Amino acid sequence: MQIKNNYSNFVKPEKLAAFFNKILNVAINNKMSLDLDGVTPVKVETYLDENSLLKTIRTEASNFNIRFGSRISATYHLAKHALIPSTTGLDFDLNIDQINKLSSYLREANQVISNPKSEIQVTISQEGDSRTIIFKNGNNVAVVLESFGSIILCSYR
C-alpha cells in the first residue's frame, strides 16, 4: 500500500487559529466567561442546601449571570455545540448568521437553567465538595458546577 504525501485537504494551522480567534472574540464581546473584566461571578454559601442552591442558580440564570469559567472554555463550547453541528461545509470563516447564533448561546443556556419546567439532576462529587447540576429542557441540556460556592457553566448543548 502506497500512502500519498498530498496534504492539500488539510487546514492550515494559521487559518484554524484565525477561526478560533474569531469565536474567542464573540465569547469576549458577549462576556461569556468569568475571567473577563466587568463580569461578576455568581457565589453561593458553601454547602448550601439543594433547594436554596437551585433557587439561587435559577434566579441568577434569569438575569443571564451564569457563565463559563474561562474564555477558552467558552470558545471551545461555542465551536463544539453552537457552531459546528449547525454548519455544513464549514470554510473556517464566520458569517453574520453564525455570529448571531454564537452570540445567543449563553442566553439560551441561561434560559434553560432558569426555566421552571426544566428537569433537574443533581450529583455530588466523590469528595463531597462540589455538585454538578444538569438542567434539561427538551433536547437542550445545560450543565452547571457548584464548587466551594462558585457557580460555573460547564456545558450547554
What are the pLDDT tens digits along the chain (157 aa)? 565 566 566 667 888 888 899 999 999 999 999 999 999 999 999 889 999 999 999 999 999 999 999 999 999 999 887 765 555 455 677 888 888 888 999 999 999 999 999 999 999 998 888 999 999 999 999 999 999 999 999 999 9
**Cα dist. 14→18, 19, 50 in Å?**
6, 9, 46
Q: Are 129 and 145 in contact (CB under 8 A)?
A: no
| Domain ranges (residues) in the chain | 13-156
The pTM is what? 0.85
